[in-house]
Amino acid sequence: MCFDTSIASTTTTVQSTIVTTTTASTTTTTVPATKKVLGDIDGNGILDAVDASKILGSYAKYSTGSKAPTEDDLAVCDVNKDGYIDAVDASKVLAFYAHTSTGGKLTFEEFIKIK
Ligand SMILES: [Ca+2]
Ligand SMILES: [Ca+2]
């Protein structure tokens, strides 16, 4: 007699236990490095006297020579791109602030180029 090979298809219902692991997403509130806006030190999207004074603060900090500005500092604070964070950068921000507050429509980049 022939052995019946047709195995009764055992429908194995694999009970996939969907484990909803709530991964505690540590939301680090660090601003992405790509979102650096020239001159906007405090990152509030507005260039104003606060940013200018922060640039001056950086200038004071770095002028002692005890600490060198980081790439990020330079990227944001060195608005005229001369490699130094100084009063010139702060005054550019202030001048731009004056420009925008009097209805000026130039972007900061455009403003730096012509002023
Ligand atoms: Ca700002
Ligand atoms: Ca500069």
Please give the helix or strand (H or E) that residue 92 lies within, else none.
helix 87-101
Give the ligand whose atoms come closest to the C-alpha of residue 73. 2
Kindly give the distance from the C-alpha atom of residue 4 to the centroid of ligand 2, in angstroms, as a whole number: 88
* Distances from the Cα of 30 to the Cα of 27, 33, 52, 90, 91, angstroms: 9, 8, 22, 24, 27
Rounded to the nearest angstrom, the distance between the alpha carbon of 29 and the centre of ligand 2 is 28
- Which amino acid, residue 5? T
What pLDDT is recorded for position 6?
A: 59
**Distance from residue 51's CA to the centre of ligand 1 (Å):** 5
- Ligand 2 center from residue 104 Cα (angstroms): 23
pLDDT at 15: 66
User: What is the full per-residue pLDDT of the chain (115 aa) written as tens digits?
Assistant: 556 655 555 565 666 666 666 667 766 665 454 568 999 999 999 999 999 999 999 999 999 988 899 999 999 999 999 999 999 999 999 999 999 999 999 999 999 998 7
78 with 28: CB under 8 angstroms?
A: no
Tell me, what's the pLDDT at 106? 96
If you measure from the C-alpha of residue 66 to the centroid of ligand 1, how many angstroms do you get, rounded to a whole number?
A: 26
